A and B are shown apart, each in its own frame.
Chain A
Amino acid sequence: EVQLVESGGGLVQPGRSLKLSCAASGFTFSNYYMAWVRQAPKKGLEWVATISTSGSRTYYPDSVKGRFTISRDNAKSSLYLQMNSLKSEDTATYYCARHGLTGSWYFDFWGPGTMVTVSS
């Protein structure tokens, strides 16, 4: 059974940093592109980052480019999101998600999410 479990969320002050983790199991982690998607309270979904199978390629929307860094450790079946210079608008539930088969950019499995609150 595919499982994705996020951790590392919490309350952080504006301008500070936070690192999220996602532990994957039930599938061959190194074979899949992975992603982070967020959802502000009572709002819609926003794609945050994607990383290739080897970690050599990463992709971000303009809203987080230069502030967030996605990475992975295939030996540990783990995905990470380093978030720097956090803003109040980054407050959201952050989901770890698996992309579909190579070349498919939908998200076929999602974790339960971890909440990040940016506030002074």
Chain B
Amino acid sequence: DIQMTQSPASLSASLGETVSIECLASEGISNDLAWYQQKSGKSPQLLIYAASRLQDGVPSRFSGSGSGTRYSLKISGMQPEDEADYFCQQSYKYPFTFGSGTKLEIK
């Protein structure tokens, strides 16, 4: 199975600050990487797929990058509504696996 190592586990940011979350795959996943946002008590929502493609309706302050085994999610200008848990997921091969999550809070 492909292991997804996500960091940091938690993060505190001020409004307007730019934050980054990283995911490291245990083997190359050819940009088959998705990012999800999960707000408290809600189901996950797709933010980014294919490593860098923004899902319809997602604000442009969210962006994804990376290749091979290393990928990152960037939020350019933290907003109050961005406080949530974030997960990466490899969609390269079965079994699909997720990172352990990053809890992003407002400082």
B44: CB under 8 A from chain A?
Answer: yes
B46: A residues at CB distance < 8 A = 106-109
A66: B residues at CB distance < 8 A = none
Q: A44-B100, A46-B98, A108-B49 in contact; A95/B44 too (CB < 8 A)?
A: yes
B98 touches which of A47, A95, A111, A113 (Cβ 8 Å):
A47
A59: CB under 8 A from chain B?
Answer: yes
The number of chain B residues touching the other chain, given as a range, is 20 to 34
B94: A residues at CB distance < 8 A = 50, 59, 61
A112: CB under 8 A from chain B?
Answer: yes
B43 touches which of A47, A105, A110 (Cβ 8 Å):
A110
Residue of A nearest to B90 (CB): A105
A111 with B43: CB separation less than 8 A: yes
Residue of B nearest to A35 (CB): B96
B34: A residues at CB distance < 8 A = 106-107
B101 touches which of A44, A50, A59, A108 (Cβ 8 Å):
A44
* A to B CB contacts below 8 Å, 28 in the list: A44-B87, A44-B98, A44-B99, A44-B101, A45-B87, A45-B89, A45-B98, A45-B101, A46-B98, A47-B95, A47-B96, A59-B95, A95-B43, A104-B49, A104-B50, A105-B32, A105-B96, A106-B34, A106-B46, A106-B49, A106-B50, A106-B89, A106-B91, A107-B34, A107-B46, A108-B55, A109-B46, A112-B43
Residues of A within 8 A of B (CB): 44-47, 50, 59-62, 95, 100, 104-113
